Amino acid sequence: MLKKIPNPYVRSLCEWLLAVAAAVLIFLVVRSFVFRFAHVSGNSMEPTLNHGDTVVLSRVHYLFGEPKKGDIVAFPYKENPSEYYIKRVIGVPGDVIDLTDYRFTVNGVPLSDEFSSEAVLALGDVRFPLTVEDGRYFVLGDNRNGSKDSRYAAVGCVPKGQMVGKVVLRVWPHNAFGGVK
C-alpha cells in the first residue's frame, strides 16, 4: 500500500504514522486486557504492601478464572473510580464470614491468617455472620485495624466485575521488587 506513494517523504511520514498508530494500539490492548500499574496509598495492606509501593495488576487472571482466597485484588473507590482499593480476598461466594472474639471465621473455621495476627478491634458496620453472595468476594486489608474493607457497607463485598486485577508484582521500591503473596 505504501509503495504506491511516489513521494519518498510522504511515504516515510505515512510509515512513521502507521508505526505510531500500531504502538498506541498495542499499548491500549495490553493496558485493557493484560496488566495495569497501581500505587498503594495508605497503610491498610501493611506489612505486605506499604504506602508508596507500585504494583502490577494482572487483568488476565480474572478473564479466565475466579478470584481465590488469599489473592490480593484491586478495585475502584466508589467515591473516586480513578483510584483503587487494594485488599486480600478471604471469602468467596457461599462462604459464611463471622467475627467473634475479635477474630474472623470462614465457614466456622478460624481464619488461618499468616498476614495478620492482631485482634480485630475495628468491627465495621456490617452485620455478622454474613454470607457472601454469588459473584461477590469478601475482602480485608492485612492491617485489620487500619483498613476500610468489606466490614464496612461503603465497601461491602466486591463484585468480580469490579475487580481491576490481581496484584502479582511489586516494582517499586526497587529494593522490594518481586512477587507479592
pLDDT of residue 124: 83
120 residue type, one letter? V
pLDDT of residue 68: 92
pLDDT of residue 158: 94
Residues 107 and 96: their CA atoms lie apart, in Å, by: 5
Determine phi and psi for 125, rounding to 5 degrees.
-120, 15
- pTM given for the model: 0.78
Q: Is 12 a catalytic residue?
A: no
Per residue in 15-38, pLDDT (tens digit) is 777 777 777 776 666 666 667 788
Which pLDDT band, with edges at 50, 70 and 90, does 139 fall under? very high
Q: Which of 44, 116, 147, 150 is catalytic?
A: 44
Beta bridge partners of 170: 55, 178
Q: Which of 69, 87, 117, 150 is catalytic?
A: 87
Q: Is 87 a catalytic residue?
A: yes
Which CATH code is given to the segment(s) 35-179?
Answer: 2.10.109.10
Which pLDDT band, with edges at 50, 70 and 90, does 1 fall under? low
pLDDT of residue 28: 67
SS3 23: helix
